[in-house]
Amino acid sequence: MTDLPHSVFVLAVFAVVYLGMILGGLPRLHLDRTGVALLGAIAIVGAGELTPEQAAQAIHLPTILLLFSFMVISAQMRLGGFYGAVTRRMAALPLPPAAWLALVIAVAGALSAVFTNDVVCLAMAPVLADACLRRRLDPVPYLLALACASNIGSAATLIGNPQNMLIGAVLNLHFGSYVQRAWLPVVASLGLLWALLAWRLPAPRDGAAPTPSPPPQVGRDDAEPPFDAWQTAKGLLVAAALMLIFLATDWPREVAALVGAGVLLLSQRFHSSRVMNLVDWELLVLFMGLFVVNHALQHSGLTAQALQALRDQGLHLEQTGPLFAATLALSNLVSNVPAVMLLLPAVQGPGIATAEAGTLLALVSTLAGNLLIVGSIANIIVVDAARKRGITIDWARHARTGVPVTLASLALVALWLAWR
């Protein structure tokens, strides 16, 4: 039995926090999702629902360490000018628009599988927008391709985005086995994205064939650093070594990634403060706050009661159909990270095929992010980069691509999981 007053308080905090996840903050308060999650955790500890020690233990440290480590690795690649250099090299190729679109999708998808989708979009979007304008192309289809491809590509591995890192760490999924299960629907979804965008791709604005463009001189505060071959090589070597370790050994991923991040921090060129400034501390705090709030709900017994009530109504979230629907709905309601945290307790326990459930959670929560602009941070980053250059991507323009791509890719995942 649960203590009713305590349960009511925990449920109230939980409801307010997840209302903040839905709204992106709380009305009349200058709080974003991170602030809401942090205040929720403070309320739980301040009211004595969890001791500070219990709250600390509620935070899944392997997930935090893995996320932090790849933020450091991505910061190294960005400071080395890698993303900008790749985008400028693509812009210099004398390809027709459809072929160039395919290249953008392939590169964004591949990079996002390793270096996380948000960072890839943050670094590539401004350079890509400028490259399109110089080639006299409508930049919107290419920017949409970047956002959607980065979301899709990040689903291919357990390090491609924050929710996949969480799922892999909490469910202890094998890295190589997950890639084997995920790569086919991911590649097929990237192909569908290209087909959808290519068939309605407008010609260059002056009717001439596109020509190679010189590297854009971006005089803005979001300009990429100049390319540094040595620093980029260091980052690529560490990333390649980690991929090999993840695929071929049982060394804990968070420990290996932390060692890799430590190697990159040993630099004569980049001061550690420059790297730390590119770490998304707000995302780490969001994770920690949600860990505490969700653990308090479990600690109160309400999570178990809710799952049992659903089972009594014939709704078993550990089964493929209900889990698929719940992941899709919650990912677009509260965003994918909070949705995954809510659903993880349902797929943990004896008799549950955690590998299959984890794969479903990772694929569906990630691919659902393409549905609307607010579905993923990557979308918001690309739209914001476009706005700074006078390029408008409103919700309707995004939805004309995002909705069919999401529905088609999720249909592929459903068929793939049913076949397996």
Question: How confident is the model over 383-393, as pLDDT tens digits?
Answer: 988 988 889 89
Compute CA 338 distance to the chain's CA centroid, rounded to the nearest angstrom.
12
Say if residues 83 and 223 touch (Cβ distance below 8 Å). Answer: no
**pLDDT tens track for 214-241:** 444 444 445 667 888 988 999 999 999 9
Residue 193 has pLDDT above 80, yes or no: yes
Domains: count for the chain: 1
Q: How many CB atoms lie within 10 A of CB 359?
A: 26
Write out the H or E segment, with its range, that includes residue 211.
Answer: none
**Encoded tokens for 395:** 């919700």
- pLDDT of the residue at 41: 96
Q: pLDDT digit string (tens) for 32-48?
A: 889 999 999 999 999 99
The arithmetic mean of pLDDT across residues 62-84, rounded, is: 91
Q: Distance between CA atoms of 325 and 346, rounded to whole angstroms? A: 14
213 pLDDT more than 60:
no
Is residue 409 over pLDDT 50? Answer: yes
Could you count the other beta carbons within 10 Å of the beta carbon of residue 348?
13
pLDDT of res. 1? 42
Q: Which amino acid is at 277?
A: N
pLDDT for the residue 204: 62
User: What pTM was estimated for this model as a whole?
Assistant: 0.87
Q: Does residue 28 register a pLDDT over 90? A: no
Could you tell me the pLDDT band of residue 106, with boundaries at 50, 70 and 90?
very high
Task: Give yes or no for a contact between 44 and 292, defined as CB atoms under 8 angstroms apart.
Answer: yes
State which residues form the domain around 399: 4-419
For residue 91, pLDDT over 90 is answered with: no
Percent of the chain at pLDDT above 90?
55
